[in-house]
Amino acid sequence: MDILVEVSPEIYSNHVVQEKGQSFFYVQILKALYRMMVSSLLYYKKFGKDIESIGFEINPYDMCVANQIIEGKQHTITWHVVNVKSSLEDSKVNDEFLDWLKEKYANENIGVKAKRGIKDNYLGMTLDYTTPGILKIDMTEYVKSMVEEFPQKVRNSTPWTKSLFKVD
């Protein structure tokens, strides 16, 4: 909230309310947020049970990461709602996992498709595997598109924002 007021006080400062010595920002939600949260939670629970049934263990520290060991190597999947990323050196295992997803969710009206490569976009991140043994993650294009699509100009700048964007 403080950042929004700092960036565009003429838009946001009138919406900040002081209650019991704390600042609050009230907004009106234009879509049914509750139902979106419930449906996401239901999908998460179903997907979690499904992957556990085929041998994956969900990471207790990141509940959207699961692993299983196949022939001495770790097969990792990560997901955010219906965006799933499967990682293992053996492409055959990734193919088998993709086939399982297609079969399991064929009647769920969820489109299952795959993309492979040494450079990929996943959830706003560019994942770059071009250097063997090293993963480079870059979100510059994603952040740049957010700033460009933001309805107000960026007023306060940092050296980083100045290097990427035209700022006042």
Check pLDDT > 60 for residue 122: yes
Tell me, letter by letter, the H, E, C secondary structure of the chain: CHHHHHHCHHHHHHHEEEECCEEEECCCCCCCHHHHHHHHHHHHHHHHHHHHCCCCEECCCCCCEEEEEECCEEEEEEEECCEEEEECCCHHHHHHHHHHHHHHCCCCCCCCCCCCCCEEEECCEEEECCCCCCCEEECHHHHHHHHHHCCCCCCCCCHHHHHHCCCC
Considering only 19-28, 30-39, 142-151, which range has the smallest mean pLDDT?
A: 30-39
Supply the pLDDT for residue 59: 95
Least confident segment among 40-44, 62-66, 126-130, 148-152? 148-152
The CA distance from 4 to 13, in Å, is: 8
Residues 82, 6, single domain; the answer is no
- Same domain for 147 and 108, yes or no, is no
Query: Which band of pLDDT confidence, cut at 50, 70 and 90, is reported for residue 162?
Result: low
Mean pLDDT of the chain: 81
Write out pLDDT tens, residues 125-137.
Answer: 898 989 988 889 9
Domain carrying residue 20: 1-30
Q: Tell me: do 66 and 3 sit in the same domain.
A: no
- Give the pLDDT of residue 60: 94
Token match 């994603």: residue? Answer: 142
**Res 167 pLDDT > 60:** no
Q: What is the pLDDT of residue 87?
A: 83
Token readout for 168 is 């006042």
Indicate the residue among 96, 116, 136 that finishes a domain.
116
pLDDT (average), residues 6-31: 79
Total domains, the chain:
3
- Reply yes or no on whether the pLDDT at 62 is more than 60: yes
Average pLDDT for residues 14-40, to the nearest whole number?
76
Contacts of 100 (CB under 8 A, 6+ apart): 54
Residues 26 and 71 in one domain: no
Q: Is the pLDDT of residue 160 over 70?
A: no
**112 and 35 in one domain?**
yes
Q: What is the pLDDT of residues 90-99, one digit of tens each?
A: 889 988 998 9
In angstroms, the CA 30 to CA 92 distance is 44
Q: Are 64 and 80 in contact (CB under 8 A)?
A: yes
d(CA 62, CA 88): 19
Pick from 51-60, 64-73, 74-83: least confident = 74-83
